Amino acid sequence: MSFISLKELRNGFVHLFYPDLCEGCSNPLVSGEHVLCMGCATLLPETNYHYTDNNETAMRFAGRVPFVKATSLAYFTEDGLLQHLLHGLKYRGQIQNGKYLGARLAATLKHGGWLNDIDIVIPVPLHPSRLHERGYNQSAILAAALGKKVDTVSLIRVKKTESQTTKTRAERADNMMGAFLLADTTPLLGKHILILDDVLTTGATIEACANVLLGAQNVKISIATIGIAIS
């Protein structure tokens, strides 16, 4: 005979009246499903870039900044499932979307040991005023799921940049000039750092972070994003 706890019983009741709905199809999620139902989970357009060095994410940084490897979890398209999940995370407080996507990235990268030689994960920092507004850094939520040491203090954002969405590639790079600084180099010395961001477009933001991080002695940089914008 098995007993269920009061907590389980209460959660069961809450779930009965307010079931969590799939972010993809709005059907109620069943036990063991989080954020996406099993059907919608298979629809996330994964890139499998971590199996090849010369992938599109790596190409976007080639010749711009020295890095070891680069990858993105899935394709980010206008009105696609990934855009919906990431917008929920960024603009609607849906932290669970970030935990889910971070866990998917972790599960994917563990294949082939992609994360094995990474020492520290640095999520792209938000400007303190933006962080205060939102209450959390979406990239730090993603980073927490990787099971690696996460550093959110050594690299800081000192410039509140305007929205990048309507800018050209050159304007985006200008916009990011002087945006980041190293508050402390000591924890980074000799480390292999993974820079983590939500979506890769031109790469201007990550490039600016990498250039600043490379100011610490003997660091190596790798890059991962959840989405790669495909136009």
Strands 149-150 and 120-123 come out as parallel
Residue 22 near Zn ion by CB under 5 A: yes
User: Least distance in Å: CB of 21 to Zn ion?
Assistant: 8
User: Least distance in Å: CB of 44 to Zn ion?
Assistant: 11
User: Which C-beta is closer to Zn ion: that of 14 or that of 25?
Assistant: 25
Contact residues for 116 (Cβ-Cβ < 8 A; gap 6+):
none
Residue 25 near Zn ion by CB under 5 A: yes
Residue 85 near Zn ion by CB under 5 A: no
**70 DSSP β-pair partners:** 223
User: Which C-beta is closer to Zn ion: that of 37 or that of 121?
Assistant: 37
CA 19/CA 22 separation, integer angstroms: 10
User: For Zn ion, how many residues bind (rule: CB under 5 A)?
Assistant: 5
Residue 59 near Zn ion by CB under 5 A: no
Region of 19-27, 193-201, 204-212, 220-228 interacting with Zn ion (CB under 5 A): 19-27
Residue 40 near Zn ion by CB under 5 A: yes
